[in-house]
Amino acid sequence: MSTFSWVLLGIGLFIFGQFMMMRPSVRERTLMQLREAARHMGLQPRLVAPPAWLRQESRQLVACYTLIVPGGGWVDRAETGAWAEVRRGDLVERIAAVAATARVVAGVCTGTMLLAHAGVIAGRRAATHHSARRELADLGATVVDDRVVDDGDLITSGGVTSGIDLALWLLEREVSAHMADQVAARMEYRRTRPAMTS
């Protein structure tokens, strides 16, 4: 990925956190506007956002460099979001297939629960929303109480705002700490890096 792509990822994940808080009808309209704006700039976007869209586009998604799975709807057992997707099962199977080919797999908030149910996290260090930590541990993860947990090819974060730190950490890993710091400064965001283990 180019440096420009990583900067867009950092800013995009920040926006994505806000995006997930919108009503579904507003999210759909916003996603269409983002795709149109990207096309206008000459970009070929691969914006696969909430689970319903991943399911629709998954036939075309064979492999990816970085798979980022968002959460939402887990704690309140909502009819849409991570909890509902685990109960349906088809998206979990697709996540498992795509994760097997990805160079880096990331879970934001309770997106980590989707990864756990997809068999990606057992025996690995991981973070999720504080209300789902016990369930994550029950699925075999070593739960870490940090905003971002880097376990090599698996990076996870706590609640939705931790996704900003996750995006900036990906930018630092793939491009440079300087670039990640610049993006954080432009956003006026005080970032948190993962605690490293030896």
| Contact residues for 15 (Cβ-Cβ < 8 A; gap 6+) | none
**Residues 107-115: what's their mean pLDDT?**
94
Specify whether the CB–CB gap between 117 and 87 falls below 8 A. Answer: no
Specify whether the CB–CB gap between 125 and 178 falls below 8 A. Answer: no
Query: Residue 185: enclosing H or E segment and its boundaries?
Result: helix 177-186
pTM of the model: 0.74
pLDDT reported for residue 36? 61
pLDDT beyond 60 at 156: yes
pLDDT reported for residue 6? 43
**Residues 124-147: what's their mean pLDDT?**
97
pLDDT reported for residue 13? 52
Specify whether the CB–CB gap between 114 and 59 falls below 8 A. Answer: no
Topology of domain 3-186, CATH: Rossmann fold (3.40.50)
Round the average pLDDT of the chain to a whole number and report it: 77
pLDDT beyond 90 at 56: no
Supply the DSSP symbol for 137. H
Domain ranges of the chain: 3-186
| Contact residues for 152 (Cβ-Cβ < 8 A; gap 6+) | none
Catalytically active residues are 109
pLDDT reported for residue 53? 45
Neighbours of 87 (CB within 10 A): 11
Specify whether the CB–CB gap between 194 and 150 falls below 8 A. Answer: yes
Type of residue numbered 75: V
Question: What pLDDT band is residue 128 in, cutting at 50, 70 and 90?
Answer: very high
Specify whether the CB–CB gap between 7 and 179 falls below 8 A. Answer: yes
Q: pLDDT tens digits, residue range 11-52?
A: 455 455 545 544 555 556 655 655 565 565 555 544 444 445
